[in-house]
Chains A and B, each alone.
Chain A
Amino acid sequence: MVILKYLLLLFLLMTAFLAINFKEVLVSIIFLSIFSIILTTLYLIHNAPDVALAEAVIGAGLNTAIFMSVISQVRDGKNSIFREDD
Chain B
Amino acid sequence: MTKMSGAQAIVEALKRQKVKKIFGIIGGALLPVYDVLYDTPEIRHILVRHEQCAAHAADGYARASGQPGVCMATSGPGATNLVTGIANAYMDSSPIIAITGQVNAFGVNSSYLIGKDAFQEADIIGITTPITKHNYQPKRASDIPETVKQAFYIATTGKPGPVLIDLPKNAQTETVEMKFTDNVEIRGYKPKTSPHPLQVKKTVELLSKAERPIVLAGGGVITSNASPELLALTELLMAPVATPLMGKGCFPENHPLSLGNIGMHGTSAASRLILEADVLLAVGTRFSDRTTGKLDEFCPDARIVHIDIDAAEIGKNIEVEIPIVADAKKTLRAIYKSLASKLRKSDSSPWYKRVQEVKEQLKEETSGSEKDLKPPRLIKELRKILPSDGIVATEVGQNQMWAALHFMAYEPRTFISSGGLGTMGFGFPASIGAKVACPSRPVVDIAGDGSFRMTEQELGTSVEEEIPVTVIVMNNSVLGMVAQWQRLFYGRRYSAVKLGSTPDFIKLAEAYGAEGIRVGSLKEFSKAVRRAIKSEVTTVIDVPISPEENVFPMMPPRAGLKGIVESEEEL
Q: Do A and B come from one complex?
A: no
A contact residues vs B (CB 8 Å cutoff): none
